[in-house]
Amino acid sequence: MTALVTAAIAGGGLAGCECARRLARAGVSVTLYEMKPQTYSPAHTSPDLAELVCSNSLRSDDIASGVGLLKQEMRELDSLVMQVAEATRVPAGKALAVDRELFARRMTEAMEAEPNISVVRREISSIHAPELAAADVAVVAAGPLASESLAASLAEVVGSRHLYFYDAIAPIIAAESIDTSIAFQGSRYDEGEGDYLNCPMNREEYEAFHAALLAAEKAPTHEFEKEVHFEGCMPIEALAERGERTLVFGPFKPVGFTDPRTGQRPYAIVQLRAENLNRTAYNLVGCQTKLKYGEQERVFRMIPGLANAEFVRHGSMHRNTYVNAPLVLADDLALRPHRHVHLAGQITGVEGYVESAACGLWLGMVLAARALGRNLPQPPVDTALGALLHHLRTPAKNFQPSNVNFGLMPELTQRAKKRDRKALYAERARASFATWLEGVPGLEK
């Protein structure tokens, strides 16, 4: 096996940064290629690395959830993303949310401070690019918004197994434009410190909003592209089309809240989550959309408390690119048709910020171990990281991106009540991960 001395990584997102840092700490000379600021994807606006383009939330920190468990495992593996997220955290109840601008800036500073990492602002437009071919190992961590040329090159390599889906992001509004005589601060069932602003809706207000959503004009999609939405990030108008009360049982669920104006539970509720430490901007939780910008302003201003909402960022929709991982990727995330190149992050078929970072972290660990003459065993499938990696190795008739969840793990071997099952999955995973970690000699951080 050729000695691993140099690595080229295309993409300075969460996965690329995690992978680069782990390799650099193992003594590998890493060149991290980032196409910004010369070229931007349809969703990116900042020149910083690791820009969060959808939500500023890394989701639940509860250990009895798949993503909370994965984050804890990442912390124990010395994840840079977890370290920076904690340092730039903003209040969000049980969720880990960050000041997205500060987060990206700190991630960029961390990459530029690593002596074994050179950040080069240049687009890699092909799997066969000379910059990738010249390194001992190449990693494509371009994310789900890979440039058209790079996506076309990847499609050429993997053939008809190259897939795509659409993703939607929610609007952000200025805090000072929210009517706080209507929107109230609080968390569901009064848990936590009331980190959300909540806009209560009565039945008449909700039905008018729902009707406006259905009638609103949507941004056009290219004729040659079929829309395939990831279930966890459906546009709100697509959810509304499923039925009049779909939102009431979904993102607008009112249980656990009391409207202080009426003393009663509202018919529906729209939650607003702080976007930054200063709370000058708020994200409309669950309101990801592909409505035209003017329609977004008209419809979302129908929400009580948002009549004068000032839009800091409109919602939008973009194509996400990923591969059929079980068919085209080896266990070390190398492309089967082109073993010199590895994939990392959402382009592999994991979904979400945390999952993408975890994928990049894992690949960095695998390649770092290889550089040190070692082999790194896969984590057990009953751990969060192991289950996520197993998803990428499990053939499916219709392979779809997936968040980490307990459904990816083996069933419990003991009978348990439904309310206890998540805690038992987490307990088993914690024990299994600890045993695996102790059994990996010389695991490099």
Q: Is 345 known as a binding-site position? A: no
Is 328 in contact with 335 (CB distance < 8 Å)?
yes
Instruction: Tell me the sheet residues that pair with 334.
Output: 342
Under DSSP, is residue 215 helix (H, G, I), strand (E, B) or coil? helix
Of 391, 328, 324, residue with least CA distance to 362: 391
Residue with tokens 């995330």, as numbered in its chain: 333
Q: Alpha carbon 267 to chain centroid distance?
A: 30
Q: Is 240 known as a binding-site position? A: no
Residues 6+ apart with CB under 8 A from 54: 43, 167, 169, 170, 233, 288, 353
First vs last C-alpha separation in the chain:
23
Rounded Cα distance between 266 and 322, Å, is 40
Residues 6+ apart with CB under 8 A from 81: 14, 17, 18, 50, 74, 107, 353, 354, 357, 361
Q: Residue 283: phi, psi to the nearest 5?
A: -95, 135
DSSP 8-state secondary structure symbol assigned to residue 190: G
Q: Is 13 known as a binding-site position? A: yes
How is residue 285 written in tokens? 């939780």
Is 174 in contact with 310 (CB distance < 8 Å)?
yes
Rounded Cα distance between 331 and 168, Å, is 30
The strand ranges marked E within 175-315 are 184-185, 196-201, 268-274, 281-284, 311-313
Rounded Cα distance between 246 and 286, Å, is 12
Q: Is 68 known as a binding-site position? A: no
Q: Is 85 known as a binding-site position? A: no
Q: Is 238 known as a binding-site position? A: no
- Binding site listing for FAD: 11-16
